Amino acid sequence: MIELLQAQPFFSDKTIESCTRLEHQGYCNENYLLCAESKKYIARKLLREDIDRDFEWAIQTLAYRQDITAEPLVFDKENGFMLFVFLEGEHKRELDKHGLKFLAKTLQKLHSIKIDAKPIKIDIENKTDEVLKAFETIANYPKEYVLCHNDLNPQNIFFSNEVRFIDWEYAGVNDRYFDMACVCVEFKLKKKEVDTFLKSYCADKMIVREKLEAYKTIYMALCKQWFKENT
């Protein structure tokens, strides 16, 4: 891996001092921590071929301009890897009021990014009565399409002085409620916490709770299906 990276023009004037495979890996990439000239980088070896990596790179670039993700440095499509500046921060499983507000504001920034792309199609194989009812509920309300991350689990969110998102493989145009539902489910938010999160996200706009609950049901069904297919 070091030889491949050292051959990149980006490292032509830098010496890679270490390349360590990270302990916690995702399903779509193999991740490495690099140290070069006293700076840290994340290199991702791209594993899956069913992901549009050009689109992923474009999304991360747009998100970086909004200061909500790591700086993208190198995309070597031929050799299948990406390089980013290392983000300092921590993953959290529980959020206090301050964390909820910060997360909501970062999500606001993401959802404000303009991109010309078709909405993704949500396809759930096991359409239980609960899932069918959720889709019926959603159909009763207007679509609010924005650029969504679509995978806001705690491992994809860094908390420091700011909140930043990583891993943009599944990003795409979707209803904003999907990302909000994802946060509610992944962080197991209680009603008071949901109120804080939603108020911080859109204090001047009413959130339809019925629609949010429906998207939570759909998100949980998708997670169950995804883990079944990938484990």
Express each pLDDT in 121-176 by its tens digit.
999 998 999 999 999 999 999 999 999 999 999 999 999 999 999 999 999 999 99
Express each pLDDT in 62-85 by its tens digit.
999 999 999 999 999 999 999 999
Q: Please, is 120 exposed, middle or buried when counting C-beta atoms within 10 Å of its C-beta (0-12, 13-18, 19+)?
A: middle
* Contacts (Cβ under 8 Å, ≥6 apart) of 42: 31, 32, 33, 34, 70, 83, 84, 85, 86, 87
CATH numeric code, 97-230: 3.90.1200.10
Q: Per CATH, is 2-85 categorized as 1.10.287.70?
A: no
Topology agreement, domain 2-85 and domain 97-230: no
Structural domain boundaries of the chain?
2-85, 97-230
Provide the pLDDT for residue 2. 84
Residue 25 has pLDDT above 90, yes or no: no
